Structure 1
Amino acid sequence: MEEMAPYVMEDIRPNFYKEITEGDIIVAGKNFGCGSSREAAPAVLKAAGISAVISPLFARIFYRNAINVGLPVITLESANKTFSAGETLEIDLELGKILKVDSGILTNFQPIPSFMMGILREGGLVPYIKKNKRFILSN
């Protein structure tokens, strides 16, 4: 994944990788991840330093693949109207809150379900299964 990271999003935004700082968040358009049926797509975003993706709508397979590789994905209908490039955000996945640090504005979203949070906390599904030896629906 690290070898592919420099080419992330290259077809729609050349040199995107050079603009990324570790911990950056992508605020995307509708149906983010459409056409991506492999875990490599979210895994490369994570390897490139992206810490989360916020979108009004995700392709379902991308969404679950992102959770499975430990990349938080947040569904928020107003994402593109609410956030702008360069803003500093703090995200609480369990409470479903995004804070715009500079302005103090708080935005709510549907919290990530607890079983998915368990996967994210461990860094993905494989580390989760290795630690727990099985899939646990409630934490």
Structure 2
Amino acid sequence: MTMEASASSTASLTVIPGRARLLGDDINTDYIISSSRKKDSVDPLVLRGYLLEDLDPDFAASVQEGDILVAGHNFGCGSAMEVAVTVVLAAGIRVVVARSFARTYWRNAINNGLLLITAPVDDLCDLVREGEVVALHLSGSRAELRVGADARRVIPCEPVPEIVLKLREAGGLVPYLRRHRTLA
């Protein structure tokens, strides 16, 4: 479930399959990783073991490569610590779908190649079950989350700016700039 599939049509279709991991509203950066853990190590492979430990001490151990976080309103609020994005990526999570995101978390995610998808539906976390098969479908800037093994439930998402997709593909802002020397 970790492979991204591409198919040709009018616009290129990218499908990112995963398993839904549900979180609620106002998941702040200290929930994502306690700021005290930054003293333990700077190694992402060590830090990933602390992912969301204050909410669920067993969460990090249960994460599978390719899981997709599905959250409510204001994901990533709190302090602007970049390690809150680093730990999500280190755990093998490449996509977070939420009702809304804190601006500083959004910026850190873009800079580091973590894809954040906004699904502006009030009951997002009621439309998906924990552990359920999901797939993010990207066609150009158009995005939708398909839910269930049959993918019949479709959650429309906000369009993803082209530059965000390019930065993610490159692995983040620094790798993109190394390659292109500009954001054009």
Q: Same fold (TM over 0.5)?
A: yes
Q: Does 1:127 align with 2:170?
A: no
The aligned counterpart of 1:58 is 101
1:96 counterpart residue number: 143
Identity %: 36
Size of the alignment, in residue pairs?
136
**How far does residue 8 in structure 1 lie from its aligned partner after superposition?**
0.9
Q: TM-score, normalised by structure 2?
A: 0.69
2:155 corresponds in structure 1 to: 107
Runs of 5+ in structure 2 lacking a partner?
A: 1-43
| 2:57 is the counterpart of 1:14 | yes
After the TM superposition, which residues 67-78 of structure 1 pair with which residues of structure 2 at under 5 Å, given as runs?
A: 67-78=110-121
Residue 101 of structure 1 and its aligned partner are, at CA, apart by 4.3
Map of 2:130 onto structure 1: 85
Q: Secondary structure at the match of 2:182?
A: coil
Moved more, 74-83 or 10-19: 74-83
The Cα offsets for residues 56-103 of structure 1, whole Å up to 9 and x where unpaired, read as: 111110011111111111111332122111111111243211122413
* Unaligned 5+ runs, structure 1: none
The residue aligned with 2:3 is none
Superposition CA RMSD, Å: 1.4
1:117 maps to 2:165: yes
TM-score (norm 1): 0.90
Deviation by residue 1:15-60 (Cα, 9 ceiling, x = unmatched) = 2111100000111121111113022111110111112111111111
User: Greater share of strand residues, 1 or 2?
Assistant: 2
Larger relative contact order (CA 8 Å, sep ≥ 6): 2
